Amino acid sequence: MRWNLSLMVVLFASTVLMAASPSAADEDYPKTITDMAGRVVTIEGPIERIITTNPDNSRTVIALGDGDKIVGTDEATIGSCVCPKNGSEETCPSCWENVCGGELAEIPEISTRHTVNYELMASLAPDVIFEAMFWSDRADEMQEKVGTPVVCVGTDFDFETVSDQIELIGEVLERGDEAEELIDFIDSEVEMVRSVTENLDESEKPTVYFAPRGSSKGFYDPKEGRDFTRTVTFYEPLEVAGGRNVAAECGLTDFEGSAINVGIEQIIAWDPEYILSPDDVETIEILSSSPDLESINAVQNGNVHNCFYPYCRGMPIDRSLLNMVYMAKVLHPDKFQDMDLEEEGNKIMKAFLGVDDVFSEYADYLVWPREYLNSQ
């Protein structure tokens, strides 16, 4: 009995000492990081509660294994920008049943495209807020009103910046190993395609007109200019896939940024060998039979194709990778005939969502990818 009592005293003293001593994790805090807007932000302790304000950052948090820590997010993340969704219908059930512990649809909506609910954000007591770069001008105000560190981070139109985003979020969340693994995966997918296309002569790379906003609204959308004549001067997945963007020449002019609107006459003058537009099957058929486009090489040779919509309140990296491998197969079928698009698609979506076979479900929902896969 005396020995047991002594042991209890020792154990109690050890417990008190351990409680009084900072853990190895606590010794790492507070720590400062510099976000992608150049702001110096202090993180006070380990991150257990996260708010994201755009899908690109939500997707990265999920990919790094901390999706269950998201306590508040934006309308697009819980809409259709992470797990495919059509209105209230869950397009890919396996994604919705597994991402964020199956609770993605139940996460409180703290912001929309135009509004922010600061009171709700504060009530959720986040340890960090990941703010989108395109809204970085409100970061200081958000940090002051919510009383939580706000880290500006976001993707751009190139794979290098995507890696910077992943690395920064990994640093904040103490997920450095997972971030490195994800970056390595992205690099390996890009290298798989680039290693083939970088050896092509320019004459072997077909010219492409890319309509990233789609064509379902025809040739003129007066509200937002999101129609067939809206294009970009640079889209890296297309470049890596071995295509020559006909609008690239406009990047050397006074046009601001990558997105531009051009006239039908300009597209006809460019006479692209391929047209790529993210639309349904019927819209592609309308483009292929349009009298306005009938003189274009792509239309005459039956090379008007669908692709994956590249935007969703940001630039989803999984869709960029999907477009890269798909475009490579479309533009250079002989050089990528052994690449299994469905297998690659499922690998890509699992890397970001942690769920098997989401691309297969997505292909069935969109219809055109399944038709393309069945034709191979």
123-165 residue pLDDT tens: 999 999 999 998 999 999 999 999 999 999 986 667 888 999 9
d(CA 65, CA 61): 7
Residue 15 has pLDDT above 80, yes or no: no
> Which residue did the predictor score with more confidence, 26 or 168?
168
> Are the C-beta atoms of residues 327 and 189 closer than 8 Å to each other?
no
Q: Which two tokens stand for residue 329?
A: 């197969």
> Are the C-beta atoms of residues 146 and 131 closer than 8 Å to each other?
no
Plot region of 314 (φ>0 → left; ψ -120 to 50 → alpha; else → beta): left
Give percent of the chain above pLDDT 90: 76
24 pLDDT tier (thresholds 50, 70, 90): very low
Residue 5 has pLDDT above 50, yes or no: no
Distance from the first to the final alpha carbon of the chain: 79
* Nearest C-alpha neighbor of 109 from the set 64, 165, 69, 70: 70
Residue 224 has pLDDT above 50, yes or no: yes
Q: In the predicted model, what is the mean pLDDT of residues 304-328?
A: 95
Q: In the predicted model, what is the mean pLDDT of residues 267-291?
A: 95
Residue 120 per-residue DSSP state = H
Question: What's residue 154's pLDDT?
Answer: 82
Q: In the predicted model, what is the mean pLDDT of residues 190-203?
A: 97
Task: Give me the numbers of helices (H) and strands (E) for the chain, helices first please.
Answer: 15, 15
> Are the C-beta atoms of residues 181 and 220 closer than 8 Å to each other?
no
Residue 122 has pLDDT above 50, yes or no: yes
Let me know if the fold of 28-174 is the same as that of 201-375: yes
Question: What's residue 225's pLDDT?
Answer: 66
> Are the C-beta atoms of residues 236 and 159 closer than 8 Å to each other?
yes
Residue 219 has pLDDT above 60, yes or no: yes
Count the residues in the chain.
376
Q: Where are the domains of the chain?
A: 28-174, 201-375
Question: What's residue 21's pLDDT?
Answer: 46
> Are the C-beta atoms of residues 255 and 226 closer than 8 Å to each other?
no
> Which residue did the predictor score with more confidence, 276 or 23?
276
Plot region of 254 (φ>0 → left; ψ -120 to 50 → alpha; else → beta): alpha
Give percent of the chain above pLDDT 70: 89
> Are the C-beta atoms of residues 324 and 347 closer than 8 Å to each other?
no
Q: In the predicted model, what is the mean pLDDT of residues 335-355?
A: 97
Q: In the predicted model, what is the mean pLDDT of residues 301-323?
A: 94
254 pLDDT tier (thresholds 50, 70, 90): very low
> Which residue did the predictor score with more confidence, 25 or 303?
303
> Which residue did the predictor score with more confidence, 276 or 249?
276
Q: In the predicted model, what is the mean pLDDT of residues 5-30?
A: 53
CATH 3.40.50.1980 fits 28-174, yes or no: yes
> Which residue did the predictor score with more confidence, 30 or 85?
30
Q: What share of the chain is helix, strand, coil (3-state, %, to 5)?
A: 50, 15, 40
The beta strands (E) that lie in the chain are given as: 31-34, 40-43, 50-52, 70-74, 85-86, 89-90, 109-111, 128-131, 150-152, 207-210, 230-232, 244-245, 259-261, 274-277, 304-306
The string of pLDDT tens digits covering residues 31-74 is: 999 999 999 999 999 999 999 999 999 999 999 999 999 999 99
The CATH-assigned architecture of domain 201-375 is 3-Layer(aba) Sandwich (3.40)
> Which residue did the predictor score with more confidence, 251 or 201?
201
Mean pLDDT, the chain, rounded, equals: 90
> Which residue did the predictor score with more confidence, 257 or 158?
158
- pTM comes to 0.90
Question: What's residue 58's pLDDT?
Answer: 96
